[in-house]
Structure 1
């Protein structure tokens, strides 16, 4: 796959080769998506709603196809790239749109953001997560896998070098690694760990490899008296 000078998902070549490319760049990706799908399955009861934001080619709903069918799940997938939508091989409804436009999709039982938050506008992320929490039904979850800013100092350097080592040992040529890193400048902005502790939401980590972390937040049921007090 040709790496463009400035990374964009609005590229037919990237969309056509995306599934192979992401596994090549992130050798642990199949394990991470298996874990995400296991968690999603645990929270998808009959007639639930599943939303996949930044769905790319539909890996998540494709892996959950049997659950979606057997439990009559309403699956909604969104991506802002027409090329990705054209290459979609998942299950359920899919359409092109900005995942930060919260009115585009219904309230949900499970929402998945797999490697998509890091490509959104930084200044809008806090309110976006608050909005997602408001759209989560009681007992539902938000599941996020994303790149996080590494720790400061030498530890951060070590983590970055481990990421390079993983790609190189996975068969990616050194030039392709450099080209991809330079291509991502400005397009990919890793989140900070503090983002996931806003508004008292307290996302819980469930996966970590280097500077990629999986977080989950559960909308727990709370009992309220007639006056509206917890």
Structure 2
């Protein structure tokens, strides 16, 4: 499928609305996230590799906050355990519709892929089946901070022994100098990918009240509080990281 370039913030806006995953964002999302999130393709593809490592036969794999289903596609490419299935969940109707289209296109290209169900639902209200792998990629940061621990506890309770949670997030840093350096490197990454200063500024205003990042220390503490016994950073690029949490 062709990718539409992200030009959502190229024109000056008198009032920048809060960021939402509406049809306009969905249309440009592949270009937006590739140009905005350092290491995103690496995280996506290797989430599939991690899924193959931790998946167990006859279990469910979850992609929570699946957006257009890139991680679900990676899981289906890499996991070949018998009896596994993927459940992909997002609360954006526009994302879910386009995700289904992308997965149908994947089905047309490959044979013997894991079965997948795409649900439009709030993951906070979702009842999880026993699962060996949960991907929560760039989703927790959009959930109200006071609800994050409860969600992680629910995931931990649903995880089978030897399973894993893959959690990817933008980070903030408690050390001001470290935060400023990595934030500036992220801005340089955006500029190198063709975003103007106007686009960067307007996107920041749109998202600053919607996406609330945690520090790595906060993630570790919360994951341990949720009942996980091991938390490992397996990837970091600038102020974006992905963690593996084990029961």
| TM bucket normalised to smaller | 0.7 to 0.9
Call closer, same or farther: CA 1:189–1:107 in 2, change over 3 Å. same
Instruction: Show structure 1 runs of 5+ residues with no match.
Output: 220-230
Relative to the length of structure 1, the TM-score reads 0.87
Aligned residue for 1:36, secondary structure, equals helix
Structure 1 pair 39/71, CA: closer, same or farther in 2 (3 Å)?
same
Tell me the equivalent position of 1:195: 219
1:50 offset after TM fit, Å? 0.5
State the partner residue of 1:17.
Answer: 28
Whole-angstrom CA distance in 2 between matches of 1:26 and 1:146: 10
Q: Which residue of 1 aligns with 2:237?
A: 209
What does residue range 108-119 of structure 1 map to in structure 2 within 5 Å? 108-119=131-142
32-41 or 109-118: bigger deviation:
32-41
Asked whether the 8 Å contact 2:48–2:77 carries over to 1, the reply is no
- Residue 84 of structure 2 is matched in structure 1 by 73
Report the counterpart of residue 62 of structure 1 in structure 2.
73
Q: Which ranges in structure 2 are unaligned for 5 or more consecutive residues?
A: 1-5, 10-15, 104-114
Matches within 5 A, 1:19-168: 19-68=30-79, 71-88=82-99, 89-90=102-103, 92-103=116-127, 105-168=128-191
| Structure 1 equivalent of residue 19 of structure 2 | 7
Q: Does structure 1 conserve the Cα–Cα contact (< 8 Å) formed by 2:52 and 2:80?
A: no
Contact kept, 8 Å, 2:56 with 2:81, in 1: the verdict is: no
Aligned residue in 2 for 1:223: none
Aligned residue pairs total: 217
Deviates more, 1:168-177 or 1:119-128: 168-177
Distance 1:45 1:67, change over 3 A: farther
Residue-by-residue CA offset, 1:17-42 (whole Å, 9 max, x unaligned): 21121001124211121222211111
Q: Would you say the 8 A contact 1:203–1:216 is kept in 2?
A: yes
